[in-house]
Amino acid sequence: MSDDVRDSNGTILKDGDNVTVIKDLKVKGTSETLKRGTMVKGIRLTDDPELVECRVEKIKGLVLRTEFLKKA
Which CATH number do you get for residue 28? 2.30.30.40
pLDDT band at residue 49, thresholds of 50, 70 and 90? very high
Q: Is residue 13 part of a domain?
A: no
27-31, 38-42, 46-50, 65-69: the lowest-pLDDT one = 27-31
Q: What pLDDT sits at residue 1?
A: 46
Cα–Cα distances (Å) from 13 to 27, 28, 29, 32, 41, in that order, read 22, 24, 27, 25, 12
Range of the domain at 24: 19-71
At residue 38, the 3 state secondary structure works out as: coil
- Cα 19-47-25 angle, rounded to 5 deg: 40
Number of domains in the chain: 1
Q: pLDDT tens digits, residue range 2-40? A: 579 999 999 999 999 999 999 999 999 889 999 999 999
Q: What pLDDT sits at residue 60?
A: 87
- Determine what percent of the chain falls in helix, strand and coil, rounding each to the nearest 5: 5, 40, 55
Q: Is residue 7 part of a domain?
A: no
Question: Are residues 19 and 67 in contact, defined by beta-carbon separation less than 8 angstroms?
Answer: no
